[in-house]
Structure 1
Amino acid sequence: MLADIASSLRAWLASELPPGTGIGFDPLGVVAGIERRPSGAGLVNVFLYAVSEDLDGLAGTRVRVVDQEGRVAGTVSPIRTYQLSFLVTAWAADTNEELELLGAVIGAHAERDSLSGDHLRGGLVHIDTALPMRLGWAPTAHAAEVWSAIGTSMRTSLVLTVSAPALPQRVRQVAPPVRTRELDVHDLTRSGDTAPTAVSRRRRQRPTTAEH
């Protein structure tokens, strides 16, 4: 799921940023060594620094899977949603160009605040809902704490949080539906009885039936 989110973010940003802009997902310690890039060939780096589970609305029981005939074929674990927080930084020829790239990210989010449609990649193409994105908010540590943790000087950055589901992979099979039911009738009279009652005679005469 994480790789699919990264690929989806790359597709979204590639459609919004100026041509020639690189898009990376490297740790901040790696890109911090970049001094300056050529003019017009900036880099927008989207570093995943926190993952937290969204417990609101989590189903308490397993979810049924229905086949093409409408029958329950199995069950899967409840779909869990996670908040993925990214630190977005720009690395370009000068500070002004970096701010322009970050401004382009803000403008792209203002136009579309969710991942959907042709931007989704991997297993996410099969979901029937958009993935909300929030800019400037994260349920976990603040950006300043992230910079402090990696021991790198703080610079202008954006926090982008994507809400994404973890789709269950394992289906627990259920017992197949009953398709045939056989009914059998036994003589309930005692062996010593010489004159069976009318009810017992009717029971002996009732045939075995099969229900399909």
Structure 2
Amino acid sequence: MIHEVDEGLRRLLGESGLEASGVEVVFDAPTRDWAARRSAPTVCVFLYDIREDATRRGSGAGEVYDADGYLVARRSPPRWFELTYLVTAWANRPQDEHRLLSQVLATVVATDTLPARLLTGTLAELGLTVALDTTGTGDVAPSAADVWSALGGEMKASLQVRVRAPLAGATRRTAPPVTEGLVVRSTARSEGGEATPGRRLRYKEATDPGPDGFAGPRERGPAPARRRRGDRRP
């Protein structure tokens, strides 16, 4: 999920015209060594804090259906995480850096969510809202000064962008539907007696399996007992 949020942010900033103007969008840690190697105007989007939003943790399991409306799997509810990014601009002059940072700020505050068209992978499959804001970090998250101190670099103007995104739950496939019932046969006690016809306990509409039982070759019809979306039967 984290790399999918990265891709969504990269696409969002790309639509603002940064990449078209030759500005690189990277997700590296802006350390002193990295800054010394930089050669082109760059917007650095550094992920430095990941925390679960426990207040949104759900329970139970959702149902996954195929294209025909049949139940094929069950999925545990997604868990929500807050990803906090330190966004900085790097250029030869402070004025250029501020211009780039202003462009990023205008792009981020123009939307409260990452647009669905920019989402990929599990974020696109879940179809849930991925919130986006620049309100800063929570009380427990490191401050910008602490982040710069840990990186070993000199503090500079930056934005703190927070994304709230879902992590898809585990998916468990459902067992294939039962299409054949149990057949019980009895045999005569005397030697050489022939088996009596089988008695089917369920699915009376199914045909007798024959002398070879269910191990013999047979044609499989459609699954009449498969559950469709909206079926309320127990």
TM-score tier, shorter chain, comes to 0.7 to 0.9
Number of residue pairs aligned between Structure 1 and Structure 2: 187
Mapping of 1:123-162 within 5 angstroms? 123-139=122-138, 140-162=141-163
How far the C-alpha of 1:125 sits from its partner, in A, is 3.1
How far the C-alpha of 1:157 sits from its partner, in A, is 0.5
2:9 maps to 9
1:33 maps to 36
Unaligned 5+ segments in structure 1 are 185-206
How far the C-alpha of 1:71 sits from its partner, in A, is 4.6
2:114 maps to 115
Please, which moves more after superposition, 48-57 or 109-118?
109-118
How far the C-alpha of 1:155 sits from its partner, in A, is 0.7
Q: 1:119 to 1:73 in 2, by over 3 A?
A: closer
Residue by residue over 1:96-125, the C-alpha shift from the partner in whole angstroms, topping out at 9 and shown as x without a partner, is 111111111111112223212332234433
Q: 1:152 to 1:209 in 2, by over 3 A?
A: closer
Q: 1:173 to 1:15 in 2, by over 3 A?
A: closer
Residue by residue over 1:135-167, the C-alpha shift from the partner in whole angstroms, topping out at 9 and shown as x without a partner, is 132231111111122222211100011111112
Distance in 2 between the 1:8 and 1:157 partners? Answer: 20
Secondary structure (helix, strand or coil) at the match of 2:59 reads coil
Secondary structure (helix, strand or coil) at the match of 2:64 reads strand
- Alpha-carbon contact 2:136-2:161 (below 8 Å) kept: yes
Give the % identical residues.
30
- The structure with the larger Rg is 1
How far the C-alpha of 1:178 sits from its partner, in A, is 4.3
- Alpha-carbon contact 1:82-1:164 (below 8 Å) kept: yes
How far the C-alpha of 1:131 sits from its partner, in A, is 1.2
How far the C-alpha of 1:88 sits from its partner, in A, is 0.3
